[in-house]
Structure 1
Amino acid sequence: MSTPLASQLDRSYIARQLEALLSIPSPSGFCMEIINYMVSESTKLGYLLETTPKGNGMVTIPGVNADHTIGITAHLDTLGAMVRSIKPNGMLRFTPIGGYAMHTVEGEYCLIHTRDGRKYEGTVLSTKASVHVYSDARDWKREEANMEIRIDELVKSKEGAEGLGISVGDFISWEPRTRMLPSGFVKSRHLDDKASVAALLGLMEWLKREGRTPLHTLKLIFSTYEEVGHGSSYIPADITEMIAVDMGALGDDLSATEQDVSICAKDSTGPYDYQMTSRLIELAGREKLAYAVDIYPHYGSDASAALRGGSNIRAALIGPGVHASHGMERTHLDAIVNTAALLLAYVME
């Protein structure tokens, strides 16, 4: 009897990679450092990661059959913000990068990244931050116009902030607050989608360690604009089927848990390919993986972006179950390993 793929994956390696990825700021459009990390890690594994003009990363792994290419995409970019304006009192007004509710970042620590490479700490606050001062502080609506960033420097004016090199258009990244717990739980911002990237690195590590070749050529795409809707809107023409690997949404009437690989049958852009989804369900059962099939009504993926971009492909979507998506997220290492195992089962046959 063959050993289940999930038990062959290096959980320790996947966990280390996840922790490293989470430590690197990478809001959409500001992914240079994390791409450099992926180049370095891919090289260690013996793979070449090339970058596209847009800034995405891509690793090509030749298959036994070179006449068919499968694309697998996960995104490196995260939620974040950008300086919209500097207020007369030196506070920063910001504009969101990606879709999140303002109350999920209130009180969060952040980094302001200047164009000349400097970094300054700050805190996201309501413009009525104290209940001891403002009678309506509790009811003050948490929306963009009512939020600001307090810079942790001796700044009391617009000129003072500008003197630090801070200007409109500077990127802002959120403190991830990563915790890798003995129980196997991982709680952190940006598990969407760095948990999936860690799963792909686990897949790459297994292929190299075992000296195995996938049945068909693989192109692993690490996108850098998914959170703003066009991460993998362009993909190489030789890709005929694509699996988007992104976090599985949890809650309401969804059935997945934080230990499952979630298989999405339909999201806001419509149903995914019937044959691919059915095959993924079959393989998850065969490999005895914890999994669930769900519908994501408020969700779009990089596979959706590729289809909207005109790619003539079949597409599917899977990923580790993540609780409180676009908020204070949590998953379990089991879900990441199960995701990597399901991908391996798919590409090796």
Structure 2
Amino acid sequence: MPRGVFCLLPAGKKCADAVLANPSVDGVGIRQDWKDLEPAEGVYNWDFLDSEVARATAAGKMVLLRINTQFAKPEWVTNAVAQAGGAFFTFDKDGVPTTIPVFWDPTFLAKKKAMIAALGAHFTNNPAIKIVWTSFANANSEDWSVPHTDTDIAAWQAVGYTSEKLLDAGRQVIEASMNAFPNQYVTLAVAGNGKLDPDVNYVARNAVLAARAAWPGRLIVQKNSLGTFNPPAPGTGTVYQLLWDSRPDIGGQMLDACFNDTTYRNNAGVADDFAAILHESVNLGASYGMNYIEIYQLDVLNLPLEITYAHNVLLGLEPPTSTPPPLAAPPTAPTGLRVQEP
């Protein structure tokens, strides 16, 4: 099982040389948009991925490979779904009406599985690539994202949603990923669907159980929203309980970068020292038993002491501590946010 700090790169962007030179960085999370990888059906541009995987390999770093699919799919995929008479779902994305093919649409799934197969044929024999992503319930990103407000639930029902349809889509995509990458771990980010299913974790839990029964020892379960606000382990009665129940093969990804974020997303909007927020988040991840944590490149470059700390904790080289090294000067709290009490 891969362990340690994975530097999460922006999609389509090169890894900084300083990251590759940092011995506390154990791996690199390389991302690319599907539309850039496969601009025309069956036509692949491998230049970016080949270059970045080679750079990571030369630096002795492990690679976690991820393609942004639903929100970054090529236009030809959407057109193919429409031409085949496929169903679409519309939801509110941060105030913007957004329309996507339904997760179980057969045309969409066929195109996605073909891309995964091509990706695997190109990369599965590369020993530096240790983990590849999989996703099937992802309206907004490669994180688990199934809109589930009351309005969304009514809209899903109008286009024929059932838990079984989503589970079948998951089975197909996970199977495609496992078959395309027989030499890698496959990681699935999980979350809840609110009241859309029999219980909040119903689809994610059953997808994990089915995949682990079919491919023992190969599926990693991870949460892509690590922050100080996560419930304490074991997260009983929350969506984090599924992560706890999925041990030992689990990982995590920070919700966002900490450094210079004056909205303090990783700290639920509460102003605090950037290093302290990352420190506490790492401790929470470790308390759940995460083997690795994907940390945004901005933090890897600007919070080096915390990256060394995370590396040491995740590899079992030192125990978690409650107090991080202080910055020379604490950040000024932005207007309108509650400052954390001392």
Point out the structure with the larger helix share: 2
TM-score (norm 2): 0.30
TM-score (norm 1): 0.30
Structure showing greater radius of gyration is 1
